[in-house]
Amino acid sequence: MRSQIDREIEELRERIRHHNYIYHVLDRPEISDAEYDSLFRQLQRLESLHPQLVTTDSPTQRVGASPAEGFRTIVHAIPMLSLDNAFTVGEINAFDKRVCKLLDVDRVSYIAEPKLDGVSVELVYENGSLARGSTRGDGTNGEDVTANLRTIRSIPLRLRRSHVAIPSVLEVRGEVYVERDDLLQLNEKRDAAGLPIFSNTRNLAAGSLRQLDPRTTSTRPLRMFCYDIGRVEGISISSQEQLLEVLSQLGLRVNPLYRLCSGIEEGISFYNDFQVRRKSLSYEADGVVIKVNEFALRKILGSVSHSPRWAIAGKFQAEQAITKIREIIVQVGRTGILTPVAILEPVRLYGVEISRATLHNEDEVERKDVRAGDMVIIQRAGDVIPRVVKSLTEYRSGDELPFRMPSVCPSCGSMIIRQQGTVARRCVNISCPARIKQSIVHFAGKAGFDIAGLGIKVVNQLVEKGLTKRPSQLFCLDRETLISLERMGPQSADNLLAAIRDSRSITLERLLFAIGIPEIGQQTARILAGRFGTLSRLESASKEELLAIPEIGPSITTAITDYFANQENRVVIEELLACGVEIKGEEAQLGHLVEKRFVFTGTLPSMTRDEAVERVRNLGGKVSASVSSQTDYVVMGVNPGSKGARARSLGVKILSEEEFSALIDQ
């Protein structure tokens, strides 16, 4: 018989599981973050007083494992087969003809689902509790990453009770992925901290799942969609459509953008439509999976050695090009990190001329064996960042030059170091001209002071001629000085001076980002500005005050206090204020959109997404990536995604661009 405390603990767990499901799976929270945190702390307190009652599927056990020495192998009870690919509509039609011929029918019902660019994993639930999880591996053997999967909040540690019976065994397959905005925010923080950034969402997901310390994985913005099963006991499922419904009922997250297709024509229509709309999605999708809906028909079709006959992956063409690496240079960033960059013979991708591609770090160059003079395949990672996919070694003449990282900084000749446990090398000289240049470019960028016309070519001249040694000196420039620069006529000088003058009025969050405090990206700057309101309060904040902010950890706290304790940094800030920089840190609290929550979908013709977001925030509003019952407005632009339908289902007000402009101009 259960004790009173045992029942109290389990009731708390069920309440927390419910709110986890509502928030992370359905995306419609019912309680505030503070109320959730209170429930969670209450459970932690009770479990600490009664450790014998702690269970592996308790919500408190998401980050409870010690660092592993390695990953043991897990054998999949049913192999996780890969899918055959189709790159054209003709190949998809050919797949349908093979299916119909084998089944001796004229038409087959399919389910079409988005194919995410992530990492395939398998979750094994026993009697409703998550017992283990693994990567796909070679399809038969995967790596045991149970402790890391437990940290992902969209994965339930215990299946949700509903009208669907909980199976005694359920092997669930799905994709762990990272959303685009989450990658950008994490890269901002890593760049601010002087750490290497992740090249794309898939690399981030894969690298995060293979961390030996689950505590590191828990800091990564991983999510999961479930779409398939392996072994199942205690429940009967007859179709893919039913499977997706059952998984959702059990508390497992499924992608809502699937379509039941009465024939291959509808599947192809979904494939074509999705290829157009994929750029409006919050995640990377590299294709569409088309599956025979009925499981009985799948059994008849069977599989070949490596893939099922009942499914095909309609892949989107990743635009690639072949070009030549003219040379490999080393670029020094504002925090001193050295990055190898390939200088290319110009080539066009997605209508943009590409002449440079990042090589990330020397380990990446060595792994891919990239050399100056190589013919290479390049691709825009995530359709944005140019990267070298591989060298075409068959075209080598023998004159290609292997890359070697320099032993001293290529800009200032100072010593470079490689900190233990990192792949990056760093120039230690804080007065390095390259670091100064990048710091000024960062300072004047759109997310900072937004000084139009102050590009890298102008900054290079200012630094090389000794006219500017720190960002604050930009406000001391005069017309005569600017006209003395190459390709800077009187009109250009006047325009730049006007831009510098207009930039003097700036919000606190943009100032905090611009001055380059290590580990402070745009999101953290926004949090700090909202919490402290003025620069002087932040400067005098104690470590205890900073650590009391949920999003601020020890490393960020140290970065902030160290920055303001440095006399040279304080001089820069004093000079900025002396030059007339006005901080509008409290304006956001006075706007007429205070606490209103906005979500944007589609493209706004008259303004960029960043401009729209900033206008909302300057008026006190908040911007979210997804629609929930807490959303006040969804602003719908051209080619919107699924957020509009979500808003209608929740009764959230939808604004056109004209209505949005009228609202913010009130």
Active site residues per annotation: 115
Among all chains, which residue has been given the structure tokens 């399919």?
110
Of 231, 232, 224, 110, the closest CA to residue 174 belongs to 224
Sign of the CA dihedral with 637 first, then 642, 643, and 646 last: positive
- Which two tokens mark 39? 């429930």
287 forms beta bridges with 115, 315
Are residues 94 and 314 in contact, defined by beta-carbon separation less than 8 angstroms?
no
Dihedrals φ, ψ of 85, to 5°? Answer: -105, 145
Are residues 199 and 378 in contact, defined by beta-carbon separation less than 8 angstroms?
no
Are residues 332 and 411 in contact, defined by beta-carbon separation less than 8 angstroms?
yes
Residue count of the chain, please give it. 666
Residue type, 514: A
Residue 590 CB partners (closer than 8 Å, separation 6+): 620
- Which two tokens mark 509? 């969050």
End-to-end alpha carbon distance in the chain: 63
CB atoms within 10 A of CB 263: 14
Are residues 356 and 348 in contact, defined by beta-carbon separation less than 8 angstroms?
no
Calculate the alpha carbon distances from 614 to 155, 157, 440, 608 in Å. Answer: 33, 38, 22, 10
DSSP per position, 105-126 = -S---EEEEEEESSEEEEEEEE
* Strand 582-583 relative to strand 371-372, pairing: unpaired
Dihedrals φ, ψ of 236, to 5°? Answer: -115, 130
Are residues 443 and 449 in contact, defined by beta-carbon separation less than 8 angstroms?
yes
CA distance 536 to 329: 42
CB atoms within 10 A of CB 477: 18
CA distance 507 to 447: 11
Dihedrals φ, ψ of 121, to 5°? Answer: -140, 165
- Which two tokens mark 569? 């940094």
| Helix (H/G/I), strand (E/B), else coil: 650 | helix
